A and B are shown apart, each in its own frame.
Chain A
Amino acid sequence: MNWHDHLPAFLVMIPLLGAFLTPFAASFGKTARNAFFMLFMALTLVVGMLLCTATFDGGVLVYVMGGENFSLTLPSGMSYPVRILFEIDAFGSLLIFCISFAAFAGALFSIQYMDRFSGWKRFMSLYFLMTTGALGMSATGDLFNFFVFVEISSIASFGLVAFWRDKPESLEASFKYMLISQVAAMLLLIAIGSLYGKYNALNMGALSSMLRSGTLERVSLALILSVLAFKCGAFPMHTWMPDAYAEAPSGVTCLLVTVSQASFYGLIRVCYTIFPAVTQGGTVGWILIALGCMSMFFGVMMAVVQHEIKRLMGYHSISQVGYMLLAMGVGLLALSDGNSNGTVAAYGLTAMKGGLFHVVNYSFYKGLLFLCAGALYYATGTRDLDKMGGLARSMPWTAGMFAVAAAAISGLPPFNGFVSKWMIYESSFAVHPLLPAVAMITSVLTLASFAKVFQAAFLGPSKAKLVAVREVPYGMLAGMAILTVMTLLLTLFPGWFMDNFFENAARALLDRQGYIRAVLGGM
């Protein structure tokens, strides 16, 4: 028995414990409260990193909850697992990597950002719960458990979006998000229930090994796909996203970005691991590609006309999610070209690696952009770009980090955004030449839009109202600096990350038999 074996349990246990210990810790005063918050966030980050190192060599970690033995997947001679279990492979730990980093950076940023507001206890508890939900989504091996974690992170995020409850806009954004999200969650539960009714299993590996193509499966897949595409903000279901992202406190938005990535993880896991019997035909691949192209194009078109900095970034999130959907759709098409035993055409593997690279890039630079927007709001008290100007002189650090993030999201070489986008262009060209064309137009418009933001906020003459503006406190800069450093590391060593992270994650995603075997034993 080794404490290392219990890492998957610690992953959700630590933030969950943090959520409920918060009121207790807060009674010892402000310093104790902040120290407690950062300590538990740091512990979560450490556990996340340890899990990454344990799985990036291709291993699959399985942890059974509530059993007599944490590694016994099939108790008392059952042929299918009945207990809730966690199953973490390299693809899951990629998401855990993003979530734990973004959560830590957002927390560090929030300590001073939220200092002048009341309700800290509730903020911290909800922040912990949202982290728990997102980490659980990427760790669980059980469909119903996935639903529960989706709900944990959603309910916490409703509360956090409406955190400034004296502002009518944030209440409205939260209600809108909650309404659509609840309908979606119930549809997800119907789909999961139907699958259970037919196959008597909720475990992803077990379902994957049994699932055959049929009408019920197609309907379930359609429901799950539309729900998770909604949760990650794909085009026709995107309306909640700019509202919620703009109205939530910035540290929270940074985490919300990765929560939507956890939904994206669910979407990809469902398509690649559970439903290959249905996605084999290539239709689902084309659906993802179509969703991706629409999200990219319309997202950026709506972003270009915005004047409010966080709304603008919210619309850019839609178009960035489009890139990942496009990449994964191309991967799925390539998979249906090859045979079902995990061999895939070369362009498909490139697309998947590019898509996964983009997931990580997006989590870091988008989180950084939202934190920079939060810093601007903190310093100037406005989110309207027309009321800002010349801030580079008074806020040099924020300006510098914003420039890094903006260059990365616009895909300027040599930044990391360029590398992942290039892989997506290259591989989608093999499917249809129009796809990279749409992606490149989107990239150019993204660049135009961020050039506008940078020019409006940081360059030009100083506004008379903004002469008293000073750089934001060090705590906030530190939160932003973490994400800047990660973005720069991804920029400087894309090859190392590619070989050690994304290659393994893509292979883990393709290795469906390995995922099933980890639960069901030798099959």
Chain B
Amino acid sequence: MTDTIVDTPSDFAGNAAYVLVAFLVIMALYSILTQKNLIKICIGIAVLGSSVNFFLVLLGYRQGGGIPVYYLAGAKKTMVLPTPQCLTLTAIVIALATTALMLSLVILIHKHYGTLNVDEIRRLRG
């Protein structure tokens, strides 16, 4: 692994994955903005989190790279970058915590308001 700036893959296969990330992000934002059901909004948040994690893993990928452990990589001298994988692990834990908390809030909201429709949950105004 060198610490110089490495080119990101420029072939079609490399870019297709980025297009998929963009598609997932847009889909997630669309569901968050348009859906009325709190559970569906939570799904949107979860998809958004996963797509960002996907993006991070993708950033560290190098064409034909091996695992980034020096004495296990074997003869391969190209390795994928380890940092984005660490970032992803951290981000997954954070996303898990927020999704769990969000769903527990949804349960409590349903208990109090008796509905999951965002249009009917509006006591805070003005």
Contact = CB atoms under 8 A, between A and B. Distances in A.
Contact of A193 (B56, B90, B94): B56
Given A144-B87, A169-B124, A171-B112, A193 B55 contact: yes
A155 B97 contact: yes
B102 A178 contact: yes
B6 A172 contact: no
Interface of B: 3-6, 8, 25, 29, 32, 38, 41, 45, 48-49, 52, 55-56, 59, 81, 83-84, 87, 90-91, 94, 97-98, 101-102, 105-106, 108-109, 112-113, 121-124, 126
B87 A182 contact: no
A79 interface: yes
Interface in A320-360: none
A175 B106 contact: yes
Interface in A159-199: 159, 162, 165, 168-169, 171-176, 178-179, 182-183, 185-186, 189-190, 193, 196-199
Contact of A183 (B29, B84, B101, B108): B29
Contact of B48 (A82, A183, A197): A183
Greatest chain A CB density within 10 A among B6, B25, B55 is at: B55
A384 interface: no
B99 to A, nearest CB: 9
Interface string A149-161: 0010001001100
A227 to B, nearest CB: 13
Given A155-B97, A168-B113, A171-B108, A186 B123 contact: no
Given A82-B83, A185-B94, 10 more contacts: A80-B3, A144-B87, A148-B94, A155-B101, A179-B45, A183-B32, A183-B48, A190-B55, A193-B59, A197-B59
B109 A172 contact: yes
Given A80-B3, A196-B84, A151 B123 contact: no
Interface residues of A, number: 41
A200 B87 contact: no
B21 to A, nearest CB: 9
B52 A193 contact: yes
Nearest to A158: B101
A306 interface: yes
Contacts of A162: 105, 108
A189 B101 contact: no
A189 B45 contact: no
21 contacts: A78-B3, A82-B83, A151-B98, A155-B98, A155-B101, A168-B112, A169-B124, A172-B121, A175-B109, A179-B102, A182-B102, A183-B29, A183-B32, A183-B45, A189-B52, A190-B55, A197-B8, A198-B5, A200-B3, A200-B4, A202-B83
Contacts of B38: 175
Nearest to B99: A182
B72 to A, nearest CB: 19
Contacts of B124: 169, 172-173, 176, 243, 246-247
Contacts of B106: 175
Contacts of B3: 78-80, 82, 200
A280 to B, nearest CB: 22
Contacts of B45: 179, 182-183
B91 A199 contact: no
Contacts of A200: 3-6, 81
B52 A174 contact: no
* A171, A176, A246 interface centre (most CB from chain B within 10 Å): A171
Contacts of B122: 172
Contacts of A165: 108
Contacts of B49: 182, 186
The 7 closest A-B CB pairs, nearest first, are A168-B112, A197-B59, A151-B94, A243-B124, A186-B48, A186-B52, A189-B52
Contacts of A175: 38, 102, 105-106, 109
Contacts of A179: 32, 41, 45, 102
Contacts of A183: 29, 32, 45, 48
A196 B97 CA distance: 25
Contacts of B32: 179, 183
A78 B2 CA distance: 9
B98 A182 contact: yes
A216 to B, nearest CB: 11
A198 B105 CA distance: 38
B123 A172 contact: yes
Contact of A171 (B55, B56, B109): B109
A176 B123 CA distance: 12
Contacts of B102: 175, 178-179, 182
Contacts of A247: 124
A523 to B, nearest CB: 16
Nearest to B48: A186
Nearest to B98: A182
